[in-house]
């Protein structure tokens, strides 16, 4: 059944009303109003509960206290320059003994990065960029936002079906349109989260006098690692590196122009080589997964050919 364009526009017109914040607070990191779907303590509890199992399922921690402490040192320095009461979160930074290329964060300050990603880096600013990006997910409270918006598509379907019934159209047909519209809205929201986390990560690393160009280098690492075909970005929860580089280049030319060719802002290549790469090269290979047991997050959640899977927030949204 053909649905008139006016009815489709009416369904889209419902979105602003659904997105009006109710009982919201201004996020100290992003400056935007944010609906409080989860309390601070709930977010902390979620992170604490999930941390041990995730650590175990992805290889455990790297068997080197020096490497673990090095990553934690940089991560906690980044967390210390965040806004509001975020520095007082129970931050923990875990270096996973996995050759998977990934980094992700849990709400409440639990941040993970794989040795597989770290091994491809060439300087400390890149490491700070990745950790800063994940810290940005936490300070922006993106899990809270996903929880607040997880029912958006359902609301769209119900509202659209009711409107269609009142107008004399088949509610089931319009419901399908509502599902499509709702799904695209949530996908766009996921891409926006990643770009926002990039911006916050650059902010935090620059506050520690890292050259934010390191964030651009991280995107180039991901570009080089990708293989195979890619889904259209329009229907991806995660921006491709090209889109992220475009945003980063804009920021480097404007907000962070003063950091370029400025010796105050460093990449710290020698420090990273001596404190990380040289020690990482002496470790045994990461352990293989035992048997055919699948991790709680499936293998596709960390597939390089799917940019939607490069952090836990995106992987979670992709499975919705």
Assess if residue 121 is contained within a domain.
Answer: yes
Cα(258)–Cα(260) distance, rounded to whole angstroms? Answer: 6
Paired residues of 95 in beta bridges: 113
Which domain does 246 fall in, by range? 37-286+303-318
Phi, psi dihedral angles at 52 (to 5 degrees): -60, -45
Distance CA 106, CA 117 (A): 18
Q: How many angstroms separate the CA atoms of 136 and 196, rounded?
A: 8
pLDDT at 295: 44
Q: Which residue has the tokens 């509960």?
A: 49
| Rounded Cα–Cα distance for residues 196 and 139 (Å) | 11
CB 138 within 8 A of CB 107: yes
Q: How many domains does the chain have?
A: 1
β-bridge partners, 103 = 113
Contacting residues for 26 by C-beta, under 8 A, at least 6 apart: 32, 33, 34
Q: Could you give the 3-state DSSP secondary structure of residue 96?
A: strand
Please give the structure tokens belonging to residue 157.
């379907």
Residue 232 located in a structural domain: yes
Name which of 12, 58, 25 is nearest 295 in CA terms. 58
DSSP classification of residue 27: -
Instruction: Give the pairing of strands 110-114 and 103-106.
Output: antiparallel
Predicted pLDDT of residue 299:
42
* CB 252, CB 243: distance < 8 Å: no
Structure tokens at 53: 């199992």
Find all residues with CB under 8 Å of 155, minimum gap 6, and list them.
18, 182
Whether residue 294 lies inside any domain: the answer is: no
Residue keyed to tokens 């379907």? 157
Asked if residue 254 belongs to a domain, the reply is: yes
Distance (Å, whole) CA 24 – CA 45: 21
Residue 28 falls inside a structural domain:
no
As averages over each run of 10 residues, the pLDDT of the chain (320 residues) reads: 42 45 82 91 92 90 98 98 98 96 92 96 98 97 83 52 58 52 50 94 98 97 74 60 94 98 98 98 84 41 45 48
Asked whether residue 241 is assigned to any structural domain, the reply reads: yes
| Gyration radius from the chain CA atoms | 21
Place of tokens 């934010």: 212
Q: What is the largest CA-CA distance in the chain?
A: 71
Among 107, 125, 113, 102, smallest CA distance to 68 is for 113
Does any domain span residue 16? no
Q: Is residue 25 part of a domain?
A: no
């Amino acid at each position: 059944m053909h649905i008139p364009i006016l009815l489709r526009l009416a369904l889209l017109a419902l979105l602003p009303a659904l997105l009006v914040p109710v009982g919201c607070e201004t996020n100290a990191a992003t400056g935007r109003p944010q609906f409080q779907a989860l309390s601070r303590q709930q977010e902390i509890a979620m992170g604490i509960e999930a941390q041990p199992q995730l650590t175990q399922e992805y290889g455990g921690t790297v068997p080197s206290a020096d490497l673990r402490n090095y990553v934690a040192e940089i991560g906690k320095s980044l967390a210390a320059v965040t806004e509001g009461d975020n520095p007082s979160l129970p931050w923990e930074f875990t270096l996973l003994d996995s050759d998977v290329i990934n980094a992700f964060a849990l709400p409440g300050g639990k941040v993970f990065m794989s040795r597989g990603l770290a091994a491809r880096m060439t300087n400390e600013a890149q490491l700070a960029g990745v950790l800063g990006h994940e810290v940005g997910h936490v300070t922006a409270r993106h899990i809270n936002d996903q929880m607040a918006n997880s029912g958006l598509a359902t609301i769209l379907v119900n509202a659209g079906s009711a409107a269609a019934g009142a107008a004399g159209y088949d509610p089931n047909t319009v419901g399908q349109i509502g599902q499509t519209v709702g799904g695209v809205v949530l996908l766009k929201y996921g891409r926006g989260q990643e770009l926002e986390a990039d911006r916050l990560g650059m902010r935090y690393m620059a506050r520690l006098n890292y050259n934010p160009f390191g964030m651009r280098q991280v995107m180039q690492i991901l570009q080089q690692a990708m293989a195979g075909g890619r889904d259209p970005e329009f229907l991806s929860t995660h921006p491709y590196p090209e889109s992220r580089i475009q945003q980063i280049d804009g920021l480097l030319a404007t907000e962070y122009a003063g950091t370029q060719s400025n010796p105050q802002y460093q990449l710290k290549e020698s420090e990273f080589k001596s404190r990380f790469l040289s020690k990482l090269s002496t470790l045994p290979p990461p352990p293989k997964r035992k048997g055919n047991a699948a991790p709680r997050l499936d293998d596709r959640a960390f597939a390089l050919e799917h940019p939607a899977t490069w952090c836990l927030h995106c992987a979670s949204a992709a499975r919705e």
